[in-house]
Amino acid sequence: MNHITEEADLYALGLLEADERAEIDDHVSICDPCARRLARAEATVTTMVDATIALESAPPALDARIARFESRPRSAHPPARRFGWATAVAAAFAISTGILTQQHLALVSAVRTDGNALDALVHSHFVHAQFIAPGGAPIDAKVLYERHGMWYEIVASPGSTAWSETVQRRGAADVVMSNRFVARGDAVFMRFSDPGAVTALELRDGGGHILGVVKPQVARETE
Amino acid sequence: MSDMALAQAFVDRKQVAFAEAYQRYRDLLYSVARSVSGSAPEAEDCVHDALVRVWSQPNSYRVERGALRAFLVVCVRNEALTQRRNAARHATIEAKTALLDRFERDAFEDVDHVELTRLRSAIAALPADQQKVLELAYFGGLSQSEIASRLDAPLGTIKSRASIALRKLTLAMNRPGND
């Protein structure tokens, strides 16, 4: 991504969509001038907030949810069969790949609200796989994917509360994540221009621990 | 703990920094979410989800990003706007935010009036087309395309007006003696 200019102002004013913000977050995490530019815009919006918003007390229920998040186990993996997507936990989704970059990836919105995603599902040969916890047990989430790896759709059980689907590059580790948050019951649909680029898909909890992994078996021949 | 020390501890991902940041800014963040969201439970979700996401992504905040307070305010506000827009895609919701309603009725009786007066005079100094975009973006919480549609102007024009307006506001609000 190039340096940001007016995007910093649009970001701070809340005019960008979540996937556009994710690209900027990715960039400002490594670019000092752009981080400072965004900081200036955010400071001005916060000045507007201070001038126009009267303070209300946060409800005790929010305190309790934050306390549960703070006190969550930080080292142990969650028990696989009890994977309930508890309300205090947001899970994260990450894609591990050898060559994937943000430019190779186009996040489309939840499949139910996106005609192109639905069209891709209807007109593709696809396979599916269950996410498997590190202990080897299946968890209540699944990925459907086009057999050449052109798109992936993550779905979770109706009991799922929420998860944050993330695609972000982690230094040289070649993990690409975004930080769009997905609402209850939604699915995540991702389209790729680089077939076979995805070598593994991971679901992670709010502490970054792996809840489940799928290694897609992508067809190499053309249809 | 000073604001700077808290910011550095947050960057270093010390658990105490998360707890301290929440305690210090909980009412502000909740109020920001409440100004955008349709209900108290939604506002609660926004604050929780934004904080969990920020803390779950190690590089999301660093000191170059500016004050932790402003970073979290914008995170929560963006989260609330996204959830509001997602909800609007599935159902008809109240088109006007409480904040826009207050702004239009000039009903800011419970805020810092010195700051409000400074902000009002800074906004009033903007050209009318920039004023309108800024009002719809900040007070109305509308998306770029919604503003473009509302004002019957190209999207690129809306982006430019919003960006220029915020920069002018930054200059005006930082100018000494602007009251």
* Residue whose structure tokens are 């004013």: A13
* Structure-token pair, residue A67: 């306390």
Among B93-97, B98-102, B132-136, B149-153, whose mean pLDDT is lowest? B93-97
Contact A35 B173 (CB under 8 A): no
Q: Choosing among B30, B52, B149, B155, which should be mutated to test the A contact, i.e. which has the most A CBs within 10 A?
A: B52
Helix (H), strand (E) at residue B53: helix B40-56
Measure the CA–CA gap between A11 and B144, rounded to whole angstroms: 11
Give contacts of A 32-91 with B, CB under 8 A: 32, 35-36, 38-59, 61-63, 65-66, 69-70, 89-90
Which of residues B105 and A41 earns the better pLDDT score?
A41
**End-to-end C-alpha distance for chain B, whole angstroms:** 32
Contact A9 B166 (CB under 8 A): yes
Chain segment A101-117, per-residue pLDDT in tens:
333 333 333 333 445 55
CB contact, 8 Å: A25 with chain B? Answer: yes
For A77, other C-beta atoms within 10 Å of its C-beta total 14
- What pLDDT was estimated at residue A168? 30
Chain segment B43-73, per-residue pLDDT in tens:
998 999 899 888 887 778 989 999 999 999 9
CB contact, 8 Å: A164 with chain B? Answer: yes
* Structure-token pair, residue B78: 């963006």
Q: Whats the size of chain A, residue-wise?
A: 223
Virtual torsion, Cα A168, A170, A176, A179, nearest 10 deg: -20
Chain segment A46-77, per-residue pLDDT in tens:
999 998 888 999 999 999 999 988 887 654 33
Contact A138, A132 (CB under 8 A): yes
Measure the CA–CA gap between A80 and A106, rounded to whole angstroms: 30
Contact A93, A201 (CB under 8 A): yes
Minimum-distance CB partner of A48 among B44, B69, B138:
B138
Minimum-distance CB partner of B112 among A12, A51, A90:
A51
Longest dimension (CA), chain B: 49
Among A112-126, A196-210, B136-150, whose mean pLDDT is lowest? A112-126
Scored b (16 or more CB within 10 A) or e, B130-157 reads bebbbbbbbbbbbbbebbbeebebeeee
* Residue whose structure tokens are 């707890």: B19
Q: Which residue of B has its CA nearest to A164?
A: B53
State the pairing for strand pair A138-146/A188-192.
unpaired
Q: Does residue A70 sit in helix, strand or coil? A: helix
For B6, other C-beta atoms within 10 Å of its C-beta total 20
Angle, vertex CA A129, rays to CA A199 and CA B56, nearest 5: 60
Contact B47 A42 (CB under 8 A): no
Average pLDDT over residues B150-163: 95
Contact A29 B116 (CB under 8 A): no
pTM assigned to the model:
0.63
Minimum-distance CB partner of B162 among A15, A42, A43:
A15
CB contact, 8 Å: A174 with chain B? Answer: no
Contacts by B53-56 with C-beta closer than 8 Å and gap 24+?
B53/A90, B53/A164, B53/A179, B53/A181, B53/B79, B55/A69, B55/A206, B55/B13, B55/B18, B56/A90, B56/A92, B56/A164, B56/A204, B56/A206, B56/A207, B56/A208
User: For chain A, what percent of residues have pLDDT higher than 70?
Assistant: 49
Give contacts of A 93-132 with B, CB under 8 A: 113
Scored b (16 or more CB within 10 A) or e, A197-223 reads bbbebbbbbbbebbbbbbebebeeeee
Residues of A in contact with B160 (CB under 8 A): 6
Among A171-175, A213-217, B170-174, whose mean pLDDT is lowest? A171-175
Which of residues B179 and B100 earns the better pLDDT score?
B100
State the pairing for strand pair A138-146/A151-156.
antiparallel
Closest CA to A102 of A35, A41, A29, A163: A29
Measure the CA–CA gap between A92 and A177, rounded to whole angstroms: 9
Residues of B in contact with A168 (CB under 8 A): 57
Between chain A and chain B, how many beta carbons pairs sit less than 8 Å apart? 202
Measure the CA–CA gap between A38 and A25, rounded to whole angstroms: 10
Which of residues B30 and B110 earns the better pLDDT score?
B30
Measure the CA–CA gap between A9 and A37, rounded to whole angstroms: 9
Average pLDDT over residues A147-167: 56
Contact A66 B40 (CB under 8 A): no
Residues of B in contact with A89 (CB under 8 A): 52
Contact B77 A177 (CB under 8 A): no
**Amino acid letter for position B142:** L
**End-to-end C-alpha distance for chain A, whole angstroms:** 34
- What pLDDT was estimated at residue B17? 93
Q: Which residues contact A159 (CB under 8 A, 6 or more apart)?
A: A84, A85, A140
Contact B169 A29 (CB under 8 A): no
- What pLDDT was estimated at residue A176? 36
Closest CA to B67 of B141, B26, B7: B7
As a whole number, the mean pLDDT across chain B is 86
